[in-house]
C-alpha cells in the first residue's frame, strides 16, 4: 500500500471519526490486523489527539491537512451528503480511495463521484447500509417487486438523525422500482386530515420515517396484493453489525476502480 505506514497494512483516515458510526469504525479499524488508523477528522474542534484502542492518532478539523500529513490509502467517511461531497474531491485529487457511508447521496452526486473517481484513478465505494442482513432485505424486496403492485417502506432511526428518509430506504425504493421496470401503484387519498400522512413518494413507493430515542436503524418493506401482504424487515441492534461490511469495503476498494454503489455489489450478491 502507498500510505504512510508499512506496506503490509492499509493506512486509513476516518472523516467524521467522533460521530456514532465514526467512533465505531475507529474501534474496528484499530482492531484489524491488516489496517493502520493513520488519522481522524471531525467537524467540531476536540483537540489534536484521538485516543483509540490501539493508541493515540492525530485528530483535526482540517481534512486536507490531515490527508497530506497522513498520506492514507483509504479515506472512510461517515458524515452527511454535503460534507461528503466537500471531502471526496480532496481525497480524489490526492489519489486516495474512498469508502463513503454518508446518507442521502442523490443521483447527481453519485454521478459526480463516478466522474472524479475515473479522472483520478481511484476506487469509490458508496454503501447506503453496511449490514449484511439489510443488504439481503434489499435483494429480497427487489426479487418480490415484480409480483406486487403496492408497497410501503417504513424506516426508524434514532432522534438525532438529521435527514429523512434514510438513504437506505431510498435505495430500497429505487432498487424495487428498477427491478420492476415501472412505478408501483399508489392510492391517492381524497381527504387528508393531516398533510403528508401517506409519506413520501419514490416511484410509487410510500416511505415513512420514524425518529425516536432507543432506535438504531430499522427498515421494513410491506408489499401488498389482493388478499395478502408480504413483510420483510431488518433490525439493527448495534452498530457493530456494520463493521464487517465496512472493513470488507476498505480491503476491496483499491481493487475496484471507478464507482461501486451498494455493499451487495462488493459481496457479489
Q: Are residues 122 and 251 in the same domain?
A: yes
Q: Are residues 19 and 117 in the same domain?
A: yes
Selected catalytic residue, list 97, 161, 218, 234: 161
- 153 found inside a domain: yes
- 210 found inside a domain: yes
pTM of the model: 0.83
- How many Cα neighbours within 13 Å face the side chain of 225? 7
- 4 found inside a domain: no
Q: Are residues 112 and 154 in the same domain?
A: no
139: annotated active-site residue:
no
Q: Which residue range is the domain that position 83 belongs to?
A: 10-126+240-267
- 3 found inside a domain: no
Q: Are residues 114 and 149 in the same domain?
A: no
CATH number of the domain bearing residue 182: 3.30.360.10
Q: Are residues 163 and 94 in the same domain?
A: no
Selected catalytic residue, list 15, 97, 157, 219: 157
Q: Are residues 144 and 209 in the same domain?
A: yes
Instruction: Write down the pLDDT at residue 105.
Output: 87
Q: Are residues 50 and 67 in the same domain?
A: yes
pLDDT tens digits for the chain (269 residues)? 545 445 689 999 999 999 989 999 999 999 999 999 999 999 999 999 999 988 999 999 999 999 999 999 999 999 889 999 999 999 999 999 999 998 778 889 999 999 999 999 999 999 989 999 999 999 999 999 999 999 999 999 999 888 899 989 999 999 999 999 999 999 989 899 999 899 999 999 999 999 999 998 999 999 999 999 999 999 999 889 999 999 999 999 999 999 999 999 999 88
Q: Are residues 118 and 245 in the same domain?
A: yes
Q: Are residues 21 and 96 in the same domain?
A: yes
Phi and psi dihedrals of 121, rounded to 5? Answer: 65, 40
Pairwise CA distance, residues 151 & 94, whole Å: 43
- How many Cα neighbours within 13 Å face the side chain of 217? 23
Question: In 3-state terms, what secondary structure has residue 13?
Answer: strand
138: annotated active-site residue:
no
Number of domains the chain contains: 2
Q: Are residues 201 and 248 in the same domain?
A: no
- Sign (positive or negative) of CA dihedral 114, 117, 121, 124: negative
Q: Are residues 201 and 115 in the same domain?
A: no
- 143 found inside a domain: yes
Amino acid at each position: 500500500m502507498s500510505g504512510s505506514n508499512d506496506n503490509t497494512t492499509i493506512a486509513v483516515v476516518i472523516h467524521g471519526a467522533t460521530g456514532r458510526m465514526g467512533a465505531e469504525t475507529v474501534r474496528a479499524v484499530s482492531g484489524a490486523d491488516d489496517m493502520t488508523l493513520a488519522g481522524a477528522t471531525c467537524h467540531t474542534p476536540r483537540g489534536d489527539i484521538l485516543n483509540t484502542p490501539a493508541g493515540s492518532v492525530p485528530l483535526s478539523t482540517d481534512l486536507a491537512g490531515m490527508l497530506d500529513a497522513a498520506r492514507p490509502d483509504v479515506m472512510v467517511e461517515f458524515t452527511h451528503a454535503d460534507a461528503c461531497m466537500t471531502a471526496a474531491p480532496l481525497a480524489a485529487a490526492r489519489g486516495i480511495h474512498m469508502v463513503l457511508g454518508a446518507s442521502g447521496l442523490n443521483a447527481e452526486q453519485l454521478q459526480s463521484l463516478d466522474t472524479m473517481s475515473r479522472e483520478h484513478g481511484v476506487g469509490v465505494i458508496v454503501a447506503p447500509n453496511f449490514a449484511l442482513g439489510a443488504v439481503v432485505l434489499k435483494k429480497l424486496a427487489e426479487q418480490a417487486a415484480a409480483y406486487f403492485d403496492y408497497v410501503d417502506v417504513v424506516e426508524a432511526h434514532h432522534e438525532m438523525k438529521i435527514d429523512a428518509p434514510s438513504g437506505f430506504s431510498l435505495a430500497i425504493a429505487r432498487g424495487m422500482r428498477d427491478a420492476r421496470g415501472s412505478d408501483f401503484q399508489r392510492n391517492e387519498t381524497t381527504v387528508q386530515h393531516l398533510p403528508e400522512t401517506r409519506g413520501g413518494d419514490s416511484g410509487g413507493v410510500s416511505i415513512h420515517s420514524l425518529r425516536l430515542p432507543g432506535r438504531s436503524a430499522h427498515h421494513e418493506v410491506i408489499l401488498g396484493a389482493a388478499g395478502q401482504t408480504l413483510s420483510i424487515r431488518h433490525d439493527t441492534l448495534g452498530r457493530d453489525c456494520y463493521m464487517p461490511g465496512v472493513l470488507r469495503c476498505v480491503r476491496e476498494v483499491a481493487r475496484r476502480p471507478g464507482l461501486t454503489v451498494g455493499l451487495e455489489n462488493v459481496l457479489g450478491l
